[in-house]
Amino acid sequence: MSPQLTAFEMLRREHRVIENLLDRLRELGERMLTGERVSPGTVRLGVGLLDAYLHRVHMHQFDVELWPEARGIADPECTVSLGVTRDNHTMVRQSARRLIELTSRWANGDAYAQDQVARGLLDLAAMDEATNVFEERHPFVCLASAMPQATQAHVGRLFEEHAGTKVALEANITRFLRASQVEE
């Protein structure tokens, strides 16, 4: 984590970090739909890493640390996009929890759950990707121009407090991506 990054640059960087993981989850779902064997443990670990990094750390930064600062300075159009973003965050967190539960059912022998997991991986990856794109095109843009520099710096310092967690999760994501790579 670089202290030179603004709060919004940090959030964008986190989106870049997660892109490869979203691609891998999508790939796992597609492989499962073609009948290729994929381990429930691999799926569970991948979804767990996504949930930890994107849903619990990144979205926490937005929903808990940025939101109070943003509410007071956002114009009406930006306020709407902030609300949409928070709603999207709730939806993807719930989807990830359901997917982890389905993966447990699949691991315990529920063959029907395997198909639901495959489709759930594709849906979750698409929802998270769309949420990230929306954030970058709407609330990040309007807030970066409306939020005073001192407030942005304060929020950036709050985000920096998660640096150790993010570094550890990023290392685990990298290991997961290497371990789950299909050799061709």
Q: Which amino acid is at 162?
A: H
Q: Is 138 helix (H, G, I), strand (E, B) or coil?
A: coil
Q: Is 32 helix (H, G, I), strand (E, B) or coil?
A: helix
Whether 23 maps to a domain, the answer reads yes
CATH of the domain at 112: 1.20.120.520
* CA angle (11, 15, 16) in 5-degree steps: 120
3-state secondary structure 39-73: CHHHHHHHHHHHHHHHHHHHHHHHHHHHHHHHHHH
Q: Closest by alpha carbon to 19, among 145, 131, 180?
A: 131
Whether 83 maps to a domain, the answer reads yes
Whole-structure pTM value: 0.94
pLDDT digits (tens, 9 = 90+) for 128-167: 999 999 999 999 999 998 999 999 999 999 999 999 999 9
> pLDDT class for 2, splitting at 50, 70, 90?
very low
Number of domains within the chain: 1
Q: Where are the alpha helices (DSSP H) in the chain?
A: 7-33, 40-50, 59-60, 67-73, 76-107, 111-137, 139-146, 149-160, 163-179
pLDDT digits (tens, 9 = 90+) for 18-61: 999 999 999 999 999 999 999 999 999 999 999 999 999 999 99
Whether 143 maps to a domain, the answer reads yes
Whether 1 maps to a domain, the answer reads no
Interatomic CA distance for residues 106 and 95, integer angstroms: 16
* CA angle (120, 127, 140) in 5-degree steps: 160
Whether 123 maps to a domain, the answer reads yes
Q: What confidence score (pLDDT) does residue 183 get?
A: 62
Task: State which residues form the domain around 119.
Answer: 7-179
Whether 184 maps to a domain, the answer reads no
Whether 24 maps to a domain, the answer reads yes
Whether 100 maps to a domain, the answer reads yes
